[in-house]
A and B are shown apart, each in its own frame.
Chain A
Amino acid sequence: MMDTSTCQETQEYLQEFMDDTLAPDQGGRVQAHLETCQACASDLAVQRDIRNRVAAGVPRREPPAELRRKVSEILTPKEPRVWGLLPRPALQWGLAFATLVLISLVSLAVLNRGERIPPILIEAVNDHHSFVMRGTPPTEPTADPHQVRKWLAAKVGFEVDPPMGRPADLRFMGGDVTYFLERRVACLLYGKGHTLVSLFVLPDQGVEVPRTGFRRVDGLEIYVTSREGYGVALWKKGDLLYTLVTELPPDELVGVAKDMVRT
């Protein structure tokens, strides 16, 4: 007669038994049971057989040389860029020191007020950084905003009209989709010279935004900040939240944001 409790214990610790990580007394009990229970012994045989076949049958492949090169490039420290410029060392250190002072002051102010950084800012900057580092075209590469509007509607479930800014100034490159704050987010990608501009659009429902720091620019409410070397602008229009991320200098960032808000 099968001892169900011992079958249960055996089933529960079968993986550890196979890995030989059970304590001696427990391992001994499982071993003893396996010697008397055909069902559990059969299960063990199957598990071992498949594990061995997978271990032997899945070839171990070396990464291609090109991938090694790209990973090496990613991990090699790069010359930091500040607001799209390549600074000379003296300017770089001066800017770094000034930034350090500014960040310290801002951090103290924020800590004193108990404010935290809204996740939307963190996520948007992270995704923009990924776009920058990847350097690949968007999933829907096109200069036609109508095409992207149609493509995005099918992907994200809400309507997004790509704001075009000043076409002579800002080049529309296409659309993409990302996922953060537990929702799909529309990404619109633009180029200004050699600088990438990312605009993330998502429904504002339930999204935490900064409580303070919005400024009135030509009658429009825009939040402007910087994070990890990128400029960020955020505004609300209708029931959608727009987050712009770029390495453009602050005045250009505000200019692009203004043009987009007005579209």
Chain B
Amino acid sequence: MFRASKGDAATFQHEAVKHLTSLYNFALGLAKNEEDAADLVQETYLRALRFRHRFQPGTNLRAWLFKILRHAFIDNYWRRSREPALEDPDPESGSATLAEVEGVRGEQAGPLDRLVRVDLKEALEQLPDPFRTAILLSDVEGLSIEEIAEIMESPKNTVKTRLFRGRQMLRKLLSDYGN
């Protein structure tokens, strides 16, 4: 079996664990509860270890790990989907598909007026996943547009649009909270 040297493995593991807190917080934002977030983080490290040979030393390890976590989140969504759409989805049916997780539906979201007014945590949870993901990565984790584009495997302009519209949606949700 071809393996990296022990030194390489130890270095990788030492560097990977440094991002645990960031990964956990990102997972909390996606999964919305601690138990699922912890599972997601464990799955991320399992996959990172398994595919360690695909990581190029010297490149952005943090972005690589975040990308793995996001993929794990999407895969997990499939496992837990209660009403998988077997045909093209009916937007009113309440069932969800990968397209919806990836935000095709979200990017075509209706007028902001339909959104319920809530506090910040609830407002973030109400955002479609791609918008919430972009905002968490940018405004909470402080990643650059380039890093977010790499993690979300989207063009930079798409990331910028998601940030802009996502924040607009949040503003609408938060504008009358507390009144």
Contacts and interface: CB of A to CB of B under 8 A. Distances in A.
B24 A54 contact: no
Contacts of A184: 78, 84
B55 interface: no
Query: Is chain B's binding surface mostly helix, strand, loop or mixed?
Result: helix
B121 to A, nearest CB: 8
B43 A134 contact: yes
B42 A67 contact: yes
Contacts of B145: 15-16, 19
Given A47-B167, A67-B42, A74-B42, A178 B21 contact: no
State the majority secondary structure of interface residues on A.
helix
Interface residues of B, number: 50
Interface in A120-145: 126, 129-130, 133-134, 139
B68 interface: no
B32 to A, nearest CB: 12
Which bracket fits the contact residues of A? 35 or more
Contacts of A156: 84
A154 B120 CA distance: 36
Nearest to A68: B20
Interface in B6-54: 6, 9, 13, 16-17, 20-21, 24-25, 28-29, 34, 38, 41-43, 45-47, 49-50
Interface in A56-111: 57-58, 60-64, 66-68, 70-72, 74-77, 96, 99-100, 103
Nearest to A177: B79
A23 to B, nearest CB: 15
Contact of A75 (B13, B28, B38): B13
B38 A64 contact: yes
The 6 A-B pairs of least Cβ separation, nearest first, read A50-B167, A54-B139, A179-B78, A63-B24, A75-B13, A57-B120
Interface of A: 11-12, 14-16, 19, 21, 43, 46-47, 49-51, 53-55, 57-58, 60-64, 66-68, 70-72, 74-77, 96, 99-100, 103, 126, 129-130, 133-134, 139, 154-157, 176-179, 184, 228-229
